[in-house]
Amino acid sequence: MAKELGDIITGETAIRYAMDRYFAPETDIDSLAGELTFVIYNGFTQNDMVREVLIAKDIEPVKDKHKNLMMLEDVLVEKQKIKGAAELSLFDIKEKAVYVNNSIDRFREVRHKLTIGAFKEAVRTKGLNIKFKEKNCCEDYLMSQRYESLARDFVNNSIINELKERFSDFKDVMRNILISPLYIPVESWYLPEIFDNLAKDKIYSDSLTKRAADIKNELYLGIAEERFPGKDISRLAELFDSSDLVQKQLKAMTLKDLAKEDKEIEHKMKQGLNKIIRVKDDFLNYQIIPIDNHHILNLGYAYGGQARNILHYILFSFDPEETVRFIYTGKAGNLNPKGKVQDLILSPFTISEHYLNHPQNIIKDRKHKFKNLFHSDWKQDMNDPFGIKEFYGGVMGVRATVSEKRANMKKGYEILKCDAVEMELYLIMGSIMQGVHNFLDIRTGNILWSSDIINNSVNRDLSYKNIGRQGAYLAVDMAREAFRREFS
């Protein structure tokens, strides 16, 4: 087992991760090392952080957080906003200082401290002369209040105002909640249909056919490398030709590629995607996705604590006995040595690794168990012949990404029967299944795709190629079909 379950993130990987996190790739860190100061603010929201840095520079902050950010542009060389208002790193080359928000709530505090520890180790390893200053400016309960306030404002202002402008009843959209740590590639649902419609037009059919033939070779080779290494591509072509999933990808990739060159195709593609409502918000991006005569509210990248608060305020907006359909999709690290990159994990429970060293009876009590409707009601949606496997074990909720240990991973797989490591599911699913919302009929499902696999101490992530991603697309398609089946 030790051979299959290596350390997820090695010390050197953690160091590179920390350096990349706080500096742009082109930053000449060595030239800054002589006088660079690293200031850590504990417990600040994004707006708090900006205000403190402005005050430190003798600039009077205003109520409007957008104007505060604009004022910083005059004095900051580089500004990095992390989605979700969880962190903000500000780099000022004039003062040679990096201002970093350490944590937003107690659930993420450990991970942030370990990340900063990795950064300090990187500084020591590289021999850089960097000074560290820590400012503890906020207690835990104040952090939670600020974070909950952001979530409440987001629900009561951002989402509801947008929905009221477009729909007569915002609950028609809010009833269908889908959260993803990835901004879901909904283009895979709509672009194939647009491709088919354009292919019927003689003006576009030849160019679409020729470009699809070129992309087909690249796509098939990429899939073969990810899913079937060492096998003859000619023997796999028939399988790929018969897969609806692969053919959807081929059509979507062809259309997006041609749209870069042909303005008319680009125009028609955008027309077809206009049915998807996209809203960019400083706190969180979201989409409203039409499925037949219904809609899905898709929240973008959401940290566990962030999603927990948002869901809390959304769910309390419903009347007793109403039905809310909630699906969580995302990517995970696969603990099961039988699994491959892109495989699916449909978990019926999640557990925080915080309890791994407790007695077994305590660990069992601390499991968040829930009915995953993909096990029963929606299992028939997994009908692609492509070869993606499903695993039905639990998920370990990881709070410290830079400190995952082989021993804990082994215990999680062998003793707790967990098939995956995933960062947000513990808080998100736990928040809606703990009895607070018993007045609602909440139908839940979660489906994760494996973006990496723990194998010989290598974090093997192939998703960056953006060629295959079959697991991600299949998870999204399954979510759509699950909602469609619910309303049929």
Return the percentage of the chain with pLDDT > 90, whole number.
Answer: 13
Mean pLDDT of 460-472: 55
Most confident of 26-30, 238-242, 340-344, 475-479: 238-242
Encoding tokens for residue 48?
């708090």
- Say whether pLDDT at 182 is over 80: no
Same domain? 179 vs 117: no
**What confidence tier does 430 reach under pLDDT thresholds 50, 70, 90?**
confident
- Across-strand partners of 315? none
CA dihedral 198, 199, 200, 202 (to 10 degrees): 90
Q: What type of residue is 477?
A: D
Q: Which residues contact 241 (CB under 8 A, 6 or more apart)?
A: 247
Q: Does one domain contain both 70 and 178?
A: no
Number of domains the chain is built from: 3
Does a structural domain hold residue 147?
no
Cβ partners under 8 Å of residue 314, min gap 6: 155, 159, 174, 177
**77 and 91 in contact (C-beta within 8 Å)?**
yes
In a domain, 6, yes or no: no
pLDDT above 80 (res 14):
no
Residues 371, 291 share a domain: yes
Residue 320 and residue 193 share a domain: no
pLDDT category at 81 given cuts 50, 70, 90 is very low
Q: Are residues 57 and 77 in the same domain?
A: yes
pLDDT value at residue 10: 59
Whether residue 222 is contained in a domain is answered as yes
- 242-285 tens-digit pLDDT: 888 889 889 999 999 999 999 999 999 999 888 888 888 777 88
Let me know whether 95 and 128 are in one domain: yes
Residue 144 lies inside a defined structural domain of this protein: no
Of 273, 300, 318, the residue that ends a domain is 273
Q: Which phi and psi (to 5°) does residue 300 adopt? A: -75, -155
Write out pLDDT tens, residues 280-290. 877 788 988 88
Domain-embedded: residue 145: no
Domain holding 315: CATH number?
3.40.50.1580
Would residue 143 count as lying in a domain?
A: no
**Residue by residue, what is the 3-state secondary structure of the chain?**
CCCCCCCCCCHHHHHHHHHHHHCCCCCCHHHHCCCCEEEEEECCCHHHHHHHHHHHCCCCCCCCHHHHHHHHHCCCCEEEECCCCCCEEEEECCCCEEEEECCCCHHHHHHHHHHHHHHHHHHHHHCCCCEEEEEECCCHHHHHHHHHHHHHHHHHHHHHHHHHHHCCCCHHHHCEEEECCCCCCCHHHHHHHHHHHHHCCHHHHHHHHHHHHHHHHHHHHHHHHHHCCCCCHHHHHHHHHHCHHHHHHHHHHHHHHHHCCCHHHHHHHHHHHCCCEEECCCCCCEEEEEECCEEEEEECCCCHHHHHHHHHHHHCCCCCCCEEEEEEEEEEEECCCCCCCCCEECCCEEEEHHHCCCCHHHHHHCCEECCCCCCCCCHHHCCCCCCCCEECCEEEECCCHHHCCHHHHHHHHHCCCEEEEECCHHHHHHHHHCCCCCCCEEEEEEEEEEEEEEECCEECCCHHHCCCCHHHHHHHHHHHHHHHHHHC
Based on the domain organization, do 267 and 336 belong to the same domain?
no
Q: Which domain holds residue 164?
A: 152-186+277-487
- Predicted pLDDT at 455: 44
Residues 108 and 180 in one domain: no
pLDDT band at 306 (very low <50, low <70, confident <90, very high): confident
Supply the pLDDT for residue 364.
63
Is the same domain home to 181 and 312?
yes
Last residue of one domain, picked from the residues 236, 255, 273: 273
Q: Which residue has the higher pLDDT, 73 or 10?
A: 73
Residues 67 and 94 in one domain: yes
Q: Establish if 2 belongs to a structural domain.
A: no
Greater model confidence, 171 or 357: 171
Domain for residue 460, yes or no?
Answer: yes
pLDDT at 303 (0 to 100): 77
Q: Are the C-beta atoms of 230 and 291 separated by less than 8 Å?
A: no
Let me know: does 266 contact 148? Beta carbons within 8 Å: no
From 244, 273, 302, the end of a domain falls on 273
Q: Is the pLDDT of residue 465 over 50?
A: no
- Shared domain for 208 and 177, answered yes or no, is no
Residues 449, 326 share a domain = yes
Q: Each residue of 98-139: pLDDT tens digit?
A: 888 776 666 667 667 777 888 888 888 878 788 888 887 766
Cα distance between residue 80 and residue 90, in whole Å: 7
